[in-house]
């Protein structure tokens, strides 16, 4: 995708929401991308953009304006059955926007699709920052209270809940995540927030 459109005034910036650069290294080295591939161990980008899960993509235009806000989108259809997300549709739309064949969203549509952060979500992020600092200082037992509290404040924030599992000795592919997924299904709170728009 990047290779195809790099000459058309387009770039990709990937941001790995990880505990350390080492967690992202195998992924980045395998893809050996020519675009910036960044590591965000403090969850700065989720905080600035109000992201509550990954993968999340944002389209940003030449003037640095948000052309399409947070949208769940995978690079391939590997997880389509699980997530119900069709990556092909997103790529088609993206290609048309980059080439100038189709507009992104109007400013009022962008605003309509934005989930602006709440006080509870920001408090959860502050708790996560505290917990993560305590973990790195070796105070895992005390960190746990703050991870728990962050999860209570923003139970739908998967970047916090699943993103902290390895640090806390839990398996993000295992039962702990399955519980979150089941709860989300029961409460009809989608794990992946996507923008519903007309077929491209």
Partner 1 sequence: MPTLTLLHDGRVDEISVADLARPTISPEQVESLLGWELKPEGLCQGYMCIPVDQDDLVREDGLDLRVLADALQRPLVTEEKHAVASLGASHHDRAEALDSLDAPDFTLPDLAGNLHSLSDERGKKVLLVAYASW
Interaction residues for partner 1, span 4-63 (CB under 8 A): 9-18, 21, 23-29, 36-40, 42, 44-51, 54-63
Residue choice 137, 148, 152, 197 for contact with partner 1 (CB under 8 A) = 137
123 binds partner 1 (CB under 8 A): yes
Q: Which residues of 151-184 are buried (b: 16+ CB within 10 A; e: fewer)?
A: bebbbbbbbbbbbbbebeeeeeeeeebeebeeeb
Query: How near is the Cβ of 180 to partner 1 at its closest, in Å?
Result: 12
Query: How near is the Cβ of 135 to partner 1 at its closest, in Å?
Result: 11
Phi/psi of residue 39, nearest 5 degrees = -120, 130
159 binds partner 1 (CB under 8 A): yes
Our CB check for partner 1 shows the closer of 59 and 200 to be: 59
190 binds partner 1 (CB under 8 A): no
**Rounded Cα gap, residues 137 and 160, in angstroms:** 19
Listed in sequence order, the residues at least 6 apart from 137 whose beta carbon sits closer than 8 Å to its beta carbon are: none
Query: How near is the Cβ of 165 to partner 1 at its closest, in Å?
Result: 7
Residue choice 67, 160, 191, 195 for contact with partner 1 (CB under 8 A) = 67
Residue choice 157, 162, 192, 194 for contact with partner 1 (CB under 8 A) = 162
122 binds partner 1 (CB under 8 A): yes
117 binds partner 1 (CB under 8 A): yes
**Rounded Cα gap, residues 195 and 72, in angstroms:** 8
Q: Which residues of 95-134 are buried (b: 16+ CB within 10 A; e: fewer)?
A: bebbeeeeebbeeebbeebeeebeeebeebbebbbbbbeb
151 binds partner 1 (CB under 8 A): no
The 3-state DSSP class for residue 39 equals: strand
Q: Hey, which residues does 37 pair with through a beta bridge? A: 14
Residue choice 81, 119, 175, 186 for contact with partner 1 (CB under 8 A) = 119
């Amino acid at each position: 995708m990047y290779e195809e459109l790099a000459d058309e005034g387009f770039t990709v910036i990937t941001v790995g929401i990880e505990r350390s650069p080492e967690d992202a290294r195998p992924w980045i080295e395998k893809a050996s991308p020519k675009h910036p591939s960044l590591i965000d161990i403090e969850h700065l980008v989720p905080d600035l953009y109000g992201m509550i899960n990954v993968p999340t993509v944002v389209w940003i235009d030449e003037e640095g304006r948000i052309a399409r806000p947070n949208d769940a989108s995978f690079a391939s259809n590997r997880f389509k059955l699980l997530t119900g997300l069709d990556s092909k549709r997103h790529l088609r739309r993206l290609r048309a926007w980059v080439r100038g064949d189709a507009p992104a969203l109007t400013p009022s549509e962008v605003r309509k699709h934005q989930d602006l952060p709440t006080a509870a979500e920001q408090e959860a992020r502050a708790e996560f920052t505290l917990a993560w600092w305590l973990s790195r200082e070796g105070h895992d037992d005390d960190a746990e209270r703050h991870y728990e509290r962050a999860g209570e404040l923003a139970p739908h924030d998967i970047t916090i809940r699943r993103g902290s599992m390895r640090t806390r000795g839990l398996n993000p592919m295992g039962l702990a995540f399955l519980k979150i997924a089941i709860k989300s299904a029961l409460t009809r709170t989608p794990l992946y927030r996507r923008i519903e728009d007309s077929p491209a």
